[in-house]
């Protein structure tokens, strides 16, 4: 079975080690992940992030995918979504992953909601081209809707969302109705071992 990991940048992803994932399957990531890691595919749709990525030359080290923009013509080796989905980076990375025909897809850091205090939930908060950690959380509705569309259109694939046991977690009621959205309660099953985390469960 072909396995892939799609990395959102919610805080729940922070304790999950990156390197072991690449030994198990392809890794699709978003935005500032390139600063410390080299995923198999990097997706960015925000113009400021695309400029940062290209100015750092990351697109020369890994495949970078983005939406068409005349301002990017000066950058070499960019891959474009044509036509543009008009989606956020996380769901767009998930869409790219599904186009590569993996059968089992893990969603890591897809927290949807803000922190327990209703503030920004992002590993890269307070860094260049990101909001401040003190900012009000971004509305999750578009992320949820876009993710649901992908689940609906990829009924033969299995999607496993990794979530923390504690803290505020978006229940993803709209996703649970899809039979390919798998819920795991057994913390000792084989799917847990790649993450080396005992405080996480599969929803």
Give 129-174 pLDDT, tens digit per residue: 988 988 788 777 788 899 999 999 999 999 988 876 655 556 666 7
Statement: residue 198 has pLDDT above 70: no
Query: Into how many domains does the chain fold?
Result: 1
Q: What is the value of pTM for the model shown? A: 0.87
Mean pLDDT (the chain) is 84
- DSSP line for 21-37: HHTTSEEEEEGGGGGT-
Structure tokens at 122: 């992002």
Question: pLDDT digits over 48-96, tens only?
Answer: 999 999 999 999 999 999 999 999 999 999 999 998 999 999 999 999 9
Which domain does 78 fall in, by range?
3-202
pLDDT of 1: 77
Verify cis geometry, omega within 30 degrees of 0, for the bond prior to 95. Answer: no
49, 90, 92, 108, 112 from 144: Cα distances, Å: 22, 10, 12, 14, 7
């Amino acid at each position: 079975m072909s396995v892939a990991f799609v990395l959102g940048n919610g805080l729940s992803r922070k304790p999950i080690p990156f390197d072991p994932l690449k030994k198990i399957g392809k890794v699709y990531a978003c935005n500032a992940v390139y600063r410390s890691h080299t995923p198999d595919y990097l997706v960015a749709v925000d113009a400021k992030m695309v400029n940062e990525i290209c100015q750092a030359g990351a697109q020369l080290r890994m495949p970078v995918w983005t939406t068409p923009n005349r301002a990017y013509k000066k950058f070499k080796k960019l891959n474009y979504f044509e036509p543009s989905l008009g989606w956020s980076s996380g769901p767009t990375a998930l869409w790219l992953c599904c186009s590569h025909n993996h059968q089992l897809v893990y969603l890591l850091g897809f927290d949807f909601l803000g922190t327990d205090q209703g503030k920004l939930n992002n590993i890269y908060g307070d860094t260049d081209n990101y909001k401040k950690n003190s900012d009000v959380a971004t509305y999750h509705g578009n992320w949820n809707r876009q993710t649901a569309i992908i689940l609906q259109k990829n009924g033969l694939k299995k999607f496993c969302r990794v979530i923390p046991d504690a803290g505020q977690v978006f229940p993803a009621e709209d996703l649970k109705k899809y039979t390919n959205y798998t819920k795991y309660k057994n913390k000792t099953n084989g799917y847990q071992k790649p993450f080396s985390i005992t405080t996480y469960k599969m929803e």
